């Protein structure tokens, strides 16, 4: 499915403005390599990281005896961080590998708890997925399109809130408190 990944790469470069991104490749035992592109920083010091490789195969039911190599949702992940952070590439690759390794279907409002800091010194141990401003990429029929999901780091307290009240309730709390979720040094919102 190299042609799907080539299309994803071009699509990201078209929709995330700026100079050519840096590319890092991550490989885990038993999983095909995943790339993470680093765009920026832009004029607002925003650095955007995007995965290329998660959409290689459709996500599906891990319990199924036969997997469908054509039909099923496809996704890639986008993380926007003011100023960028070191060490986040491996974490993004772990999240992008979750459909293959854990059988997860990545979708908006999903909570993925890694139970360890997302990068060294980080207060965040989980992420909530949401809609990205990168539009979905239509693929040749009969394949489903590739969705680009925004990765938002959350603290353990915020992850508990998502479990209790849902992702939308957390987003409303952030908005009410004026929290910049793209600030890698932010503290948890008071819930």
pLDDT in tens, 140-165: 999 999 999 999 999 999 999 999 99
187 pLDDT band, cuts 50/70/90, is: confident
- In this model, does residue 48 exceed pLDDT 60? yes
User: What number is the average pLDDT over the span 35-46?
Assistant: 93
pLDDT at 19: 85
174 three-class SS = helix
Q: What is the percent of the chain with per-residue pLDDT over 90, rounded to a whole number?
A: 77
Q: Where are the beta strands (DSSP E) in the chain?
A: 22-28, 31-39, 46-52, 74-82, 111-113, 126-131, 146-154
- In this model, does residue 50 exceed pLDDT 80? yes
Using alpha carbons only, give the angle 70, 76, 82 rounded to the nearest 5 degrees.
Answer: 175
| Domain encompassing residue 146 | 2-155
The residue among 106 and 71 whose pLDDT is bigger is 106
Query: Is 54 a member of any domain?
Result: yes
Q: Alpha-carbon distance 77 to 97, whole Å?
A: 11
Overall domain count for the chain: 1
Q: How far is CA 94 from the centre of its chain?
A: 10
Query: Is 182 a member of any domain?
Result: no
95 three-class SS = helix
Query: Is 183 a member of any domain?
Result: no
Work out the mean pLDDT of the chain and round it to a whole number.
Answer: 91
67 pLDDT band, cuts 50/70/90, is: low
Backbone angles phi, psi at 32, to 5 degrees: -65, 155
Query: Is 191 a member of any domain?
Result: no
Contact 146, 76 (CB under 8 A): yes
116 pLDDT band, cuts 50/70/90, is: very high
């Amino acid at each position: 499915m190299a042609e799907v990944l080539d299309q994803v790469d071009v699509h990201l470069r078209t929709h995330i403005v700026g100079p050519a991104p840096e590319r890092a490749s991550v490989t885990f035992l038993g999983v095909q390599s995943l790339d993470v592109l680093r765009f920026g920083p832009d004029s607002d010091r925003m650095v955007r990281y995007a995965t290329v490789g998660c959409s290689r195969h459709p996500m599906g039911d891990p319990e199924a005896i036969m997997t469908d190599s054509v039909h099923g949702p496809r996704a890639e992940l986008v993380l926007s961080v003011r100023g960028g952070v070191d060490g986040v590439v491996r974490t993004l690759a772990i999240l992008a590998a979750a459909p293959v390794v854990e059988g997860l279907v990545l979708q908006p409002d999903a909570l993925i708890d890694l139970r360890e800091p997302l990068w060294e010194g980080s207060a965040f141990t989980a992420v909530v997925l949401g809609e990205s401003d990168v539009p979905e990429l239509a693929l040749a029929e009969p394949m489903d399109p590739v969705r680009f999901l925004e990765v938002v780091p959350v603290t353990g307290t915020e992850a508990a809130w998502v479990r209790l009240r849902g992702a939308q309730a957390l987003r409303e709390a952030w908005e009410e408190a004026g929290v910049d979720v793209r600030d890698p040094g932010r503290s948890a919102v008071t819930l």
